[in-house]
Amino acid sequence: MESVTNPLLPEPWYPRRLAAKFQARAAKPRFVTRATMSKDLLVVGPGRLGRLIAKHWGEENRGSARIVGQTRSSKEHDALRALGIEPVVRDAATAERFPFVVFCAPPDTDYALEVRRAAERWNGEGSLLFTSSSAVYDCFDNGLCVESTPTVAKGRSPRTDTILAAEEEILKVGGNVVRLAGLYSADRGAHAYWRTFPVIKERPDCYINLIHYEDAATLCVAILRRTDFRGRVFMGCDGTPMSRQEIMDVVSKNQECKTTFTGSDGPLGKKMDGSKTREELHWQPRYKSFEEFMKLHSAVTV
């Protein structure tokens, strides 16, 4: 039988074919199991959503996760430290890489470049996630919109061009994207802006899709948790589309304000259905609709 010589071991050694097999195994990168993988998380853009993601991630991985928040300035660093988030300024960030990275910063001068730099902070082990916008879906007739609905063609809108270019930076390296509907809380969101005006010259029948900040955060954590997903696009919404007027009618029932929409022109909206996302992730929103949230919120604050 033909043998090969290994200077570190006595001859005769194993057959050449067996030697090649062991060498090939040694050349492959080691697979990091969930049990041994670090749970450290980098949050790029720790604003309201980013802080909630950090909170839920920390609670889920209590004592085993270091959470770093990358910001554009040091203005909010004391507030981040108080939340247990280790702050770092973007331009002063080191080359340290993390197994889990979530990008939720708003668009900047060169958004795609900023997202690409964030993707470079991912070590490829856990999960990389970009929080995108449902605005990229090409649906403006109040029609059904699902995860696979086509996106707005390049060149039609500078806003969607910017977002889709950022998504591509994430998807091409195996990261995932979640396209979120309109984020809201008691004091933030479209309703908080609209209630400051008694009359708005926009279409009352345009459908709007929403998701509460807390639900968006738990959805992001559910995606980060799935380290087997690569290059996937998910949808984040509460599953109960409402027209502009319906939203403000709900607000008027719970607060002392009245807003009326009087417009008749302009595009309509979309009716998002994220059933596929919810089924795959075994995730459900806490607030099934904006109306449900307002009823619960009013009961607590009364």
- For residues 66-70, average pLDDT: 97
Domain boundaries, the chain: 41-183+212-239+272-287
| DSSP code, position 174 | T
Strand partners, 208: 242
| pLDDT value at residue 12 | 40
Region 41-183+212-239+272-287: CATH code: 3.40.50.720
Closest CA to 177 of 131, 145, 121: 131
Q: How confident is the model at residue 13 (pLDDT cuts 50, 70, 90)?
A: very low
- Given phi > 0 = left and psi -120 to 50 = alpha, else beta, which region is 82? alpha
Q: 247: which 2 tokens? A: 């939203």
Q: Is 13 helix (H, G, I), strand (E, B) or coil?
A: coil
| DSSP code, position 188 | S
Greater model confidence, 300 or 242:
242
Cα of first residue to Cα of last residue in the chain, in angstroms, is 87
> pTM here?
0.86
- For residues 98-103, average pLDDT: 98
Closest CA to 41 of 22, 56, 21: 56
Closest CA to 47 of 55, 59, 37, 58: 55
| pLDDT value at residue 36 | 64
